[in-house]
Amino acid sequence: MTAPPALLDAAGRFRAWIRDAALPVWADRGWDAEQGGFHERFDLAGQPDRDAVRRVRSQARQIYVFAHGEHLGWYPGGADIARRGLDWLEARAWAPDGNPGWVMKLNPDGSVADPTRDLYEQAFALLALAWVYRATGDTGALELANKTLAYIDTEMAHPAGGWLESVPDRAPPRRQNPHMHMFEASLALFDATKDQAYLDRAGSILALMRRHWIAESGALLELFESDWERFSGKGGRRTEPGHQYEWVWLLDHFRERSGEDVSAEIAGLYAFARTYGRNPKTGLIMSAVGDDGAPLDTSARTWQQTEHLKASLIQGAAGRSGAWDAAGDALHRLFARFLAPAPAGCWIDAYDGQGKPDVTGITASTLYHLFVAAVETKRILGSRNSATKAASQ
């Protein structure tokens, strides 16, 4: 189904902003030229916060972005940046105490700030390694990915299915979220290698979703007890529209690679998020609602808007009524609320439920969400470029 010209133009403008504004800023000021590694965040003037503790997930996301940017031809030299980032990260965050696994946080000087092996961190390390291998052919990156998977399967496997939240393990709730990113990383490893074992791993995570994560209302539950029963504490009914949209995107990618029918899951997740996910006061996709659709957290983050965009593009291509309009609306709000008011190449990352900015800095890890959304506009809509230059945004 053909997208309307206005959407094609807005998507071209968005890709231009990624290529001409965001990637140059985060390759330059986003890299710590003195100590190495990527800065965790900027201040609101767009300058690096040199004292901020660095999450390994943020480092891995930046590595992914620049490796993929090189692969697309969007940022020549991106592979070198990604390789430099991976070298810095591997030397400091992989098994620094002699035990395998990626630690959770580093100090700016590269010393360990939190030695916890968190599943979320392992998942994004895998995504980064998959893309470094794909962009450069570096077999060492693939070997390290397989070492990471061996660690996850040996030390983090959970008897009820899936993996522990962390090592040492935390008390419940268990979350679907890090498993979602393990699904994403598995697809990336399959794309890089065509090894069926990675796609089978993604399929095992989909089986968990089907058995445990989707409520009767169609909502994707977030929090669980150790045995994947609905969490009995506060938040047991919590569902996040952003994650529902994100799963629409991931399931569509899985369908393309596996041929498996996931149309029921895609339709249900999209319908629930579309019905209940928007804050009527701000027009933005909000952070959380109950499994009955009642608002729980009406604040909004950049990433929730990018996931709305990705899911709506997929549904528009599938012919779903109103989806192209939803994608156009998501792009408009991204520019108007999150990108245009910020320093060049940056973003206002959060709004409260009344629509007021609610930020103290510019988090580097959000670039990953914006970049993937831009990639999806190219994949689904093609490469038509807008005449509008976005580098001044």
Give 307's contacts (C-beta < 8 A, 6+ positions apart): 242, 243, 245, 246, 249, 285, 369, 373
Confidence of residue 234 (pLDDT cuts 50, 70, 90): confident
Six-digit token pair at 318?
């599938």
Domains plus CATH for the chain?
5-30+214-381 (1.50.10.10)
Give 40's contacts (C-beta < 8 A, 6+ positions apart): 49, 52, 53, 54, 55, 58, 363, 364
The residue length of the chain stands at 393
Q: Which of 382, 384, 348, 296 is nearest to 46 (CA)?
A: 348
Q: Is the pLDDT of residue 240 over 70?
A: yes
Q: Is the pLDDT of residue 387 over 80?
A: no
In this prediction, residues 20-32 reach a mean pLDDT of 98
Q: Is the pLDDT of residue 194 over 80?
A: yes
Q: 371, 18 in Cβ contact below 8 A? A: yes
Q: 16, 385 in Cβ contact below 8 A? A: yes
pLDDT at res. 164: 98
Six-digit token pair at 167?
């090592």
Over the stretch 197-208, which tens digit does the pLDDT of each residue have?
A: 999 999 999 999
Expressed in angstroms, the distance from the first to the final Cα of the chain is 31
Over the stretch 126-164, which tens digit does the pLDDT of each residue have?
A: 999 999 999 999 999 999 999 999 999 999 999 999 999
Q: 334, 305 in Cβ contact below 8 A? A: yes
- Which residues are paired to 238 by β-bridges? 290
Distance CA 377, CA 2 (A): 13
Q: How many alpha carbons fall within 13 Å on the CB side of residue 70? A: 20
Six-digit token pair at 103?
């630690």
Please state, for a pLDDT cut of 70, what percent of the chain lies above it: 97
In this prediction, residues 106-127 reach a mean pLDDT of 98
**What SS3 state is found at 38?**
strand
**Amino acid code (one letter) for 147:** K
Q: Is the pLDDT of residue 275 over 50?
A: yes
Over the stretch 288-335, which tens digit does the pLDDT of each residue have?
A: 999 999 999 999 999 999 999 999 999 999 999 999 999 999 999 999
Q: 186, 199 in Cβ contact below 8 A? A: yes
pLDDT at res. 29: 98
The DSSP code sequence of 141-193 is HHHHHHHHHHHHHHHSB-TTSSB-SEESPPPSPEESHHHHHHHHHHHHHHHHH
Q: Say what the pTM is.
A: 0.96
Confidence of residue 77 (pLDDT cuts 50, 70, 90): very high
Confidence of residue 393 (pLDDT cuts 50, 70, 90): very low
Over the stretch 250-265, which tens digit does the pLDDT of each residue have?
A: 999 999 999 999 999 9
Distance CA 18, CA 296 (A): 32
Confidence of residue 383 (pLDDT cuts 50, 70, 90): confident
pLDDT at res. 389: 39
pLDDT at res. 174: 97
Say which DSSP state 343 is in: S
- Across 292-333, the runs of DSSP E, i.e. the strands, are 295-297, 300-301
- Residue found by looking up tokens 């029963």 in the block: 229
**Phi-psi region for residue 146, left (φ > 0), alpha (ψ -120 to 50) or beta?**
alpha
- Which residues are paired to 221 by β-bridges? 239
Q: Is the pLDDT of residue 28 over 50?
A: yes
Give 11's contacts (C-beta < 8 A, 6+ positions apart): 331, 377, 378, 381, 384, 386
Six-digit token pair at 327?
């994608």
pLDDT at res. 1: 72
Q: Is the pLDDT of residue 68 over 80?
A: yes
**How does 39-59 read in b/e, with b if 16+ C-beta sit within 10 Å?**
bbbbeeeeebbeebebbbbbb
Distance CA 12, CA 154 (A): 45
**What SS3 state is found at 364?**
coil
Q: Which of 116, 229, 110, 108 is nearest to 168 (CA)?
A: 116
